[in-house]
A and B are shown apart, each in its own frame.
Chain A
Amino acid sequence: MSRQANRATDSKKMNSELFTLTYGALVTQLCKDYENDEEVNKQLDKMGYNIGVRLIEDFLARSSIGRCQDFRETADVIAKVAFKMYLGITPSVTNWSPAGDEFSLILENNPLVDFVELPDNHSTLIYSNLLCGVLRGALEMVQMAVDVKFAQDTLRGDSVTEIRMKFIKRIEENLPAGDE
């Protein structure tokens, strides 16, 4: 995506409203095109995954962050660097499982849901599911398989938005066929 010339260390910013409304228009379109919320959720996750796969390169180039030592460091980088860089928010990292393989990101402000209200007939829609896909796709590119899902969502009346992330395994480095 970003060409060498405009790969500034500090990424350019823009008003979040265009971003929010574009996302809203996309979700609305998906709701029209697919029969049920399940399918829409799946599609959002898939799109997010595609974004994540591409975003990680942009992220590594801009942030010049090296390999994380452990999952805790990964969690911190996601919350404090990645979310900050792309969405301008810093979620808090909490609720670690005793084994240290599972945590929650608490988003106080989710820019995707500004102006949004879920109508009653879309009660199973996971509106921001794109984010799960993004996290999953990006981490997969750095050899981490994770399970990401929304545990709480302000759109459904919860007091905060909570994304739960679980470490599954380290992916063995296999160079894709035909790649040097």
Chain B
Amino acid sequence: MEARFTRGKSAILERPLSRPKTEVSVSAFALLFSEVVQYCQSRVYSVSELQARLAELGQRVGASLLDVLVLREKNGKRETKVLNILLFIKVSVWRSLFGKEADKLEQANDDDKTYYIIEKEPLVNTYISVPKENSTLNCAAFTGGIIEAILTHSGFPAKVTVHWHKGTTLMIKFDEAVITRDKVLEGR
């Protein structure tokens, strides 16, 4: 048998999945996130590349978070409807990540594939001042990555982009197939 099963190295598997009470200070996170941004910045040439890198890191976070959240918040039940998965993100995901619900969830007027999650002051941007010459940079691209991973791994493939609009707006664009499927489900 592999050593890790016998040595007790995997104590991690013995631990309960229920909500832990552990907390860290926001300062600690802000400092860590600042290093993350600086590190990513040191390896890219443009704002869009930097945001893409942050999103990639966010995707890793989202992918690891999804299962444990579904288990804790939904007793293991998966969402099948677009609206429900969006609400799951607005309420449960946001609350466990940031301690509050997202400010707003809206649908685009002219496009049934597009939704917006609007956050006036995202936690990740609280301590970041964007330099004038890079005014399009929004480090909430990291949050965008988290959401994109959660949606995609839940079976709702989507692209999430981040914009400065009413604070920060995450624009969620679902794949055509997702919306088609949703309409079929609705028809039943």
Contacts and interface: CB of A to CB of B under 8 A. Distances in A.
Given A1-B127, A28-B60, A29-B57, A51 B24 contact: no
Interface of B: 4, 7-12, 20, 22-36, 38-39, 43, 56-58, 60-61, 64-65, 96-99, 123, 127, 142
Nearest to B99: A14
The DSSP consensus for interface residues of chain B is helix
Given A11-B26, A26-B39, 20 more contacts: A1-B30, A1-B31, A2-B127, A14-B24, A14-B98, A14-B123, A15-B97, A16-B20, A16-B23, A18-B61, A19-B28, A22-B36, A25-B58, A51-B32, A51-B35, A54-B34, A86-B28, A114-B20, A115-B12, A156-B9
Interface of A: 1-2, 11-19, 21-26, 28-30, 33, 43, 47, 50-51, 54-55, 58, 85-88, 109, 111, 114-117, 130, 154-157
B99 A15 contact: yes
A111 B65 contact: no
A96 B26 CA distance: 32
A47 B23 contact: no
Contacts of B11: 154
A55 B188 CA distance: 57
